[in-house]
Amino acid sequence: MKKIDFLDWSLDAWFLALCLMLCLTCMAFSCSLNAQEKDTVILRDSAVTEGDSVDTFNATVQNVVNETRRIVKRRAQAASRFLNERYIIVIDPGHGGTKYIDKGNSAKLDGIEYHEKDMMFEYAQLVEKKLAAAGYEGLRKTKEAADDSSLSIYTRAGRAAKFGKDAGKKVLFVSLHWNNFEDPSVGGTEIYIKESQNYKSRKLAEFLRGSMSHILQMHGAGQNITGIVERDYRVLREMDTGVLIEIGYASNPGDLRKMLSQKDEIATAIVNGIDAFAEYMQEQEAQKQMPNDDPKKAAEDAKLAEIPSIPFGWSWRKKDISADVDHLMKRYDGMYEKVTTEKEIYLTFDCGWENGYTPKILDVLKANEVKAAFFITGGYLKSAEDVVARMVQEGHIVGNHSVNHLSMPQLKVREMKREILGLEQDFYDLFEMKMNYFRPPSGEWSRRSLAVTQALGYKTVFWSFAYDDWDVQAQHGRDYAYKKITQNVRPGVIILLHAVSKDNFEALDAVIKDLRKDGYVFKSLDEIK
């Protein structure tokens, strides 16, 4: 008798062989199978007896495998038909053209430079091909060439909506991007969805998370610990169902290597997630169960609302920061200074309105090759969009200072979120970039406001030195600003300056040059771990 080589069997064969053995055992005890049950594999004449050959046994297992695969295929085809009748799938290769940024980020690996727009277009083509092979019809992309720099994020969102309108269907929108960060250890996948009427988007994101997480770990924190983040970016909020997938961090060598070497696996995982969503939608439609919003969100907000919101003001001096406050900063991802003995300085500016000096400050920073963080308000973004664009283009951090510069401790949880996310939404719609740092207006904070900020995935940035520079009617001159800054620096200091100050602009070049002579290095907030 031919010897059975079990090692040659696939996992499918192993699993189904066990099922077959179980069926045979049940038959031996006179258990009958219901032959009328739909999609059930019936084993009658193919039952294996003790005298059957191994070849017959293997053939039986293969028959079971083939029949099971046919069942799975029929289910997938039914799900794709269901989605085809109701949705048009639009794939959006991120970047490639905005008013300010053309290529998105670039990254190097093994001496070769890669651009986000190029890689995401390759992914879009691959996902489109695999979706078509899976039976999805009417697939569209928001652009047909990686170098189509005429298509801004506004144009792409409008084009996706028009695809749906022309087809008389809802839009299932999948926008593809990569992430970037100065710390190369940060990595993982993030999936963004809109904030309201988002139940279907969240379910799609959950299925994508499940299918993609075996390739790249999920990146998340706070309320977004699962890697699924709510943001009302235009490309999401105007779609019935949509996700923005940050596949991985190009700044993380491991992530970038996977994005380059495992394109087929990652694209397949995206398609599998859409397949699972289609099956879920089909089942929910049959049961007439389709809530509009994720019920977990209200519970999360209620939990945040239970945290006390006693207001505090941030001191101008480090010596006024108590041990209790320091503990809260660590607990809620707040920062005011880096603990170090190295001569490092972190330069930040608050921008509530433009007084004509921010472009000049940018000139000084560029000439001295210094990167800073600029915390802007919603009003500043609207009135000085070109200045913000320059901050982005020259590699500075653009931080969130809220939409309306309201006192955060006085707001309800949802109001806090609107103040933070409203600005991030407008910023993303212009630049296709997220915000990671939040500075509370007027330095006013509470334990609850810290918790809300953390839940949204932000780090709260205070300062360990500032001075009375914000009053444009009470400027004291270049020398006053120079002495104030240079006499109060120390290792790890986060300096807060206001960009409306003429004194700050006039003193800045000398401050940078002289502090460098004294051994200080100017660093980015991204370098604080």
DSSP one-letter string for 466-493: --S---TTS---HHHHHHHHHTS--TTE
For residue 39, pLDDT beyond 50: no
Are 312 and 268 part of one and the same domain?
no
pLDDT tens digit sequence for 220-270: 665 666 789 888 888 898 899 999 999 999 999 999 999 999 999 999 999
**Residues 424 and 400 sit within 8 Å (Cβ to Cβ):** yes
Are 389 and 514 part of one and the same domain?
yes
User: Residue 44 has what pLDDT?
Assistant: 38
- Tell me the three state secondary structure of residue 312: strand
- Tell me the three state secondary structure of residue 344: strand
DSSP one-letter string for 61-87: HHHHHHHHHHHHHHHHHHHHHHHHHHE
DSSP one-letter string for 410-467: GS-HHHHHHHHHHHHHHHHHHHS----EE--GGGEE-HHHHHHHHHTTPEEE--SB--
Instruction: Give residue 198's pLDDT band: very low, low, confident or very high (50, 70, 90).
Output: confident
- Give me the number of domains the chain comprises: 3
User: Residue 100 has what pLDDT?
Assistant: 52
**Residues 245 and 179 sit within 8 Å (Cβ to Cβ):** no
Catalytic, out of 95, 498, 503, 526: 498
For residue 191, pLDDT beyond 90: yes
Are 274 and 367 part of one and the same domain?
no
pLDDT tens digit sequence for 262-305: 999 999 999 989 988 998 888 877 766 556 666 677 888 899 99
How big, in percent rounded to 5, are the helix, strand and coil portions of the chain?
Answer: 50, 15, 35
Are 348 and 270 part of one and the same domain?
no
Strand spans (E) along 71-201: 87-93, 106-109, 112-115, 140-141, 170-179, 190-193
Q: How far apart are the two ends of the chain, measured CA to CA in Å?
A: 66
User: Residue 280 has what pLDDT?
Assistant: 85
Instruction: Give residue 94's pLDDT band: very low, low, confident or very high (50, 70, 90).
Output: confident
Strand spans (E) along 275-386: 312-313, 334-335, 344-351, 373-376
Are 33 and 81 part of one and the same domain?
no
Kind and range of the H or E run holding 206? helix 199-212
Among candidate residues 288, 268, 290, the one with its CA nearest the CA of residue 201: 290
User: Residue 429 has what pLDDT?
Assistant: 87
Q: Can you read off the two tokens belonging to residue 397?
A: 């951090």
Among candidate residues 394, 408, 399, the one with its CA nearest the CA of residue 427: 399
Domain boundary among 244, 267, 293: 293
pLDDT tens digit sequence for 456-491: 999 999 999 999 898 888 899 999 999 999 999 999
For residue 65, pLDDT beyond 90: no
Instruction: Give residue 36's pLDDT band: very low, low, confident or very high (50, 70, 90).
Output: very low
**Residues 242 and 174 sit within 8 Å (Cβ to Cβ):** yes
**203, part of any domain:** yes
**518, part of any domain:** yes
Looking at residue 1, its amino acid is M
Q: What is the DSSP letter of 522?
A: E
Domain boundary among 261, 293, 325: 293
The answer for residues whose C-beta is within 8 angstroms of residue 327's C-beta and 6 or more apart is none
Are 185 and 87 part of one and the same domain?
yes
- Give me the domain span that covers residue 405: 308-527
Instruction: Give residue 386's pLDDT band: very low, low, confident or very high (50, 70, 90).
Output: very high
Looking at residue 458, which CATH number applies to its domain? 3.20.20.370
Residue with the bigger pLDDT between 85 and 77: it is 85
Looking at residue 256, which CATH number applies to its domain? 3.40.630.40
**Residue 334 pairs with which residues in a beta bridge?**
460
User: Residue 196 has what pLDDT?
Assistant: 85
User: Residue 15 has what pLDDT?
Assistant: 46
Category of 358 on φ-ψ map: left (φ > 0), alpha (ψ -120 to 50) or beta = alpha
**30, part of any domain:** yes
Among candidate residues 205, 286, 209, the one with its CA nearest the CA of residue 241: 205
Q: For this structure, is 350 an active site residue?
A: yes
- Tell me the three state secondary structure of residue 237: helix
User: Residue 97 has what pLDDT?
Assistant: 56
Catalytic, out of 92, 350, 469, 503: 350
Instruction: Give residue 28's pLDDT band: very low, low, confident or very high (50, 70, 90).
Output: very low
Are 269 and 358 part of one and the same domain?
no
Looking at residue 171, its amino acid is V
Give the whole-angstrom CA distance, residue 485 versus residue 404.
29
Segment 80-93 shows an average pLDDT of 92
For residue 124, pLDDT beyond 50: yes
Give the whole-angstrom CA distance, residue 258 versus residue 273.
19
**40, part of any domain:** yes
**Residues 458 and 424 sit within 8 Å (Cβ to Cβ):** no
For residue 316, pLDDT beyond 80: no
- Tell me the three state secondary structure of residue 398: strand
**16, part of any domain:** yes
Instruction: Give residue 59's pLDDT band: very low, low, confident or very high (50, 70, 90).
Output: low
Pairing assessment for the beta strands 140-141 and 87-93 based on DSSP bridges: parallel
Are 10 and 117 part of one and the same domain?
no
For residue 136, pLDDT beyond 90: yes
Q: Specify the residue for token string 């999805």.
A: 136
Are 163 and 217 part of one and the same domain?
yes
User: Residue 461 has what pLDDT?
Assistant: 97
For residue 157, pLDDT beyond 90: no
Are 181 and 319 part of one and the same domain?
no
**393, part of any domain:** yes
Instruction: Mean pLDDT check: name the lowest of 212-216, 244-248, 435-439, 471-475.
Output: 212-216
Segment 378-405 shows an average pLDDT of 93
**Residue 459 pairs with which residues in a beta bridge?**
437
Tell me whether residue 253 is exposed, middle or buried, using C-beta atoms within 10 angstroms of its C-beta: 0 to 12, 13 to 18, 19 or more.
Answer: middle
Domain boundary among 264, 293, 322: 293
**41, part of any domain:** yes
Please state the φ and ψ torsions of residue 321, each to the nearest 5 degrees: -90, 115
461: how many CB neighbours lie within 10 A of its CB?
Answer: 27
**299, part of any domain:** no
Are 31 and 137 part of one and the same domain?
no
Are 97 and 16 part of one and the same domain?
no
Residue with the bigger pLDDT between 335 and 6: it is 335
**Residues 92 and 155 sit within 8 Å (Cβ to Cβ):** no
- Tell me the three state secondary structure of residue 327: helix
Instruction: Mean pLDDT check: name the lowest of 18-27, 136-145, 180-189.
Output: 18-27
User: Residue 319 has what pLDDT?
Assistant: 61
